[in-house]
């Protein structure tokens, strides 16, 4: 109870709580970006599982979006499968990159967004321009210009497609690792990725720690929407 | 979203210049955000997280440590989103509602951890909070949250009184404010914080 005021019981209760605190208690930490990424992924997974879902989400996803908590329990086998897919994607790049019949169908300016918890500060100052090429049934993301940081020894840069419908992320699909940040090259879009199933598709480049977890880390450097 | 809209002495507070930092338009906006959450509008979850994510994450981190806080914070927002039709903005604010959900999740996590550790090393859960400690910590977090929503003058006066241990006359001298203003700001500040802690939805927070 404050010595200098006659307080009601309710006021005295708050007075007692304040007296039990120090100014250090007032300092709140900012949650890591992975917290929001996990919420977003868990909500998307939840809604994808719900019956009577939109057609986009009802289709079998290439890489189901799962919560951070459950993805940690994924068997290591998935990591091996993902690694194999990266190798296949790499081979595909070689096959399609010099094809003269490819048509430019969309492009995206990937930028870093300050104060957005989906992004990590390492991305500040980064920018990437990409073009989506179509050649019959085959689609390729070609990186035209790139200003990207080095990933360092503890991680890799990875490029992703993010399918968005009903204002939610429906799918986060890897295109592979970015081996050379100055000249990333081209990346094949996996055959099962149906752009038309989503309201919008974003290209994302993230930093992926060497933690054995093949899902998106939630730490984006740059992102941009593909527009025709 | 952290302003109590049904404050009976709001008119008086406005007369005193106490609540001038919140305009009617802002209040409508805050109410709209909570209504948007209940409807499940696009971006409403993101707005709720932007507004309250820090509070909930720090509550979980202080109760369970930063490692567990990540998962439990995600569970809290996912639970809240799934049970959004049970949130009634007229019965309490979202910060108190989310804090209630977080408290239950923390208690669940402590119980689960204790069940496991009983078979291993019983002392490993010694630093985990009891139910009443989790409750007190939740109140403390809401007090911290409420302090941030107070206008600058009363926030400064409360800070000087409670964290720098100044007496009312010392605060009056330091701030060049009349002693009566210092006293009324402290009392009104305590009342505001109490309102922030109140949620009559306690019975539906276990979602």
Q: Which of B133, B73, B135, B150 has its CA nearest to residue B100? A: B135
Identify from A7, A13, A18 which residue to disrupt to test chain B contact, counting B C-beta atoms within 10 A and taking the largest count.
A18
- What DSSP designation does A227 have? B
Q: From the CB of residue A115, how many other CB atoms can be counted at a distance below 10 Å?
A: 6
Confidence of residue B78 (pLDDT cuts 50, 70, 90): very high
Contact at CB, B193 and A10, closer than 8 angstroms: no
From the list A19, A21, A43, the residue facing B45 with the nearest CB is: A43
The pLDDT score that the predictor gives to residue A193 is 86
The pLDDT score that the predictor gives to residue B119 is 59
The pLDDT score that the predictor gives to residue B122 is 53
A contact set with B (CB within 8 A): 2, 4-5, 7, 10-11, 13-15, 17-23, 25-26, 28-32, 34-36, 38-39, 42-43, 46, 67-69, 117, 166-168
Confidence of residue B199 (pLDDT cuts 50, 70, 90): low
Contact at CB, A7 and B57, closer than 8 angstroms: no
Bridge partners, A187 (sequence order): A141
- Sheet of A186-188: strand order equals A168-178, A155-165, A200-209, A220-225, A103-111, A127-135, A138-147, A186-188
Distance from CA of A225 to the nearest CA of B (A): 17
Spatial neighbors of B150 by CB under 8 A, at least 6 apart, are: B158, B189, B192, B193
Contact at CB, B143 and A46, closer than 8 angstroms: no
Contact at CB, A14 and B143, closer than 8 angstroms: yes
Average pLDDT taken over every residue of chain B? 79
From chain A, pick out residues whose CB is under 8 angstroms from the CB of B79: none
Tokens of A118: 């989906």
Domains of chain A, residue spans: 9-225
- What DSSP designation does B130 have? P
The predicted complex's ipTM stands at 0.79
Residue of B nearest to A44 (CA): B78
Contact at CB, A30 and B187, closer than 8 angstroms: no
Spatial neighbors of A179 by CB under 8 A, at least 6 apart, are: A185
**pLDDT < 50 regions, chain A:** 1-2, 52-98
The pLDDT score that the predictor gives to residue B44 is 85
Contact at CB, B58 and A29, closer than 8 angstroms: yes
Per-residue pLDDT tens digits for B15-69? 443 332 333 333 334 456 777 787 777 788 998 999 999 999 999 999 999 989 9
Confidence of residue B141 (pLDDT cuts 50, 70, 90): very high
Per-residue pLDDT tens digits for B1-30? 222 222 334 344 434 433 323 333 333 344
CA–CA distance, B127 with B117 (Å, rounded to integer): 13
- Greater model confidence, B204 or A43: A43
From the list B58, B81, B186, the residue facing A43 with the nearest CB is: B81
Return the percentage of chain B with pLDDT > 70, whole number: 75
- In this prediction, residues B176-186 reach a mean pLDDT of 94
The pLDDT score that the predictor gives to residue B112 is 85
From the list B70, B77, B143, the residue facing A17 with the nearest CB is: B143
From the list B74, B168, B190, the residue facing A11 with the nearest CB is: B190
Residue of B nearest to A12 (CA): B190
From chain B, pick out residues whose CB is under 8 angstroms from the CB of A17: 136, 139-140, 143
Residue of B nearest to A17 (CA): B140
pTM for the full predicted model? 0.53
Contact at CB, A43 and B78, closer than 8 angstroms: yes
- Phi, psi at B152, each rounded to 5°: -60, -45
């Amino acid at each position: 109870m404050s010595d200098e005021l006659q307080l009601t019981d309710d006021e005295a209760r708050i007075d007692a709580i304040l007296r039990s605190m120090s100014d250090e208690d007032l300092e709140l930490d900012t949650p890591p970006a992975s917290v929001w990424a996990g919420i977003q992924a868990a909500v998307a997974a939840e809604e994808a599982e719900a019956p009577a879902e939109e057609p986009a989400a009802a289709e079998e996803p290439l890489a189901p979006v799962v919560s951070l908590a459950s993805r940690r329990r994924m068997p290591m086998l998935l990591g091996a499968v993902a690694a194999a897919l990266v190798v296949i994607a790499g081979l595909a790049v070689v096959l399609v990159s010099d094809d003269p019949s490819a048509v430019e169908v969309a492009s995206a300016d990937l930028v870093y967004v300050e104060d957005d918890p989906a992004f990590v500060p390492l991305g500040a100052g980064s920018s990437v321009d990409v073009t989506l090429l179509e050649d019959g049934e085959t689609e390729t993301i070609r990186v035209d210009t790139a200003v990207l940081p080095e990933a360092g020894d503890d991680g890799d840069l990875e490029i992703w497609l993010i399918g968005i419908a009903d204002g939610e992320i429906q799918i986060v699909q890897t295109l592979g690792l970015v081996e050379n940040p100055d000249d990333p090259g081209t990346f094949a879009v996996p055959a099962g990725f149906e752009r038309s199933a989503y309201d919008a598709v974003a290209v994302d480049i993230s930093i992926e720690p060497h933690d054995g977890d093949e899902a998106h880390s939630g730490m984006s450097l740059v992102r941009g929407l593909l527009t025709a | 979203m952290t302003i109590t809209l049904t404050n009976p002495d709001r008119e008086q507070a406005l007369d005193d210049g106490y609540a001038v930092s919140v305009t009617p338009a802002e209040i409508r906006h805050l109410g709209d955000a909570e209504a948007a959450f209940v409807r499940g509008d696009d971006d409403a979850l993101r707005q709720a997280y932007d507004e309250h994510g820090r509070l909930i994450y720090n509550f979980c981190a202080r109760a369970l440590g930063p490692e567990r806080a990540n998962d439990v914070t995600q569970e809290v927002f996912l639970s809240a989103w799934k049970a959004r039709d049970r949130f009634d903005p007229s019965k309490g604010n979202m910060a108190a509602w989310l804090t209630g959900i977080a408290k239950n999740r923390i208690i669940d996590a402590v119980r689960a951890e204790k069940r496991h550790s009983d078979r291993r090393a019983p002392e490993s859960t010694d630093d985990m909070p009891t139910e009443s400690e989790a409750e007190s910590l939740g109140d403390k977090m809401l007090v911290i949250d409420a302090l941030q929503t107070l206008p600058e003058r009363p926030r400064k006066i409360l800070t000087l009184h409670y964290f720098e241990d100044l007496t009312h006359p010392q605060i009056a001298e330091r701030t060049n404010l009349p002693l009566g203003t210092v006293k009324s700001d402290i009392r009104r500040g305590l009342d505001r914080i109490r309102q922030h802690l109140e949620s009559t939805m306690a019975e539906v927070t276990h979602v």
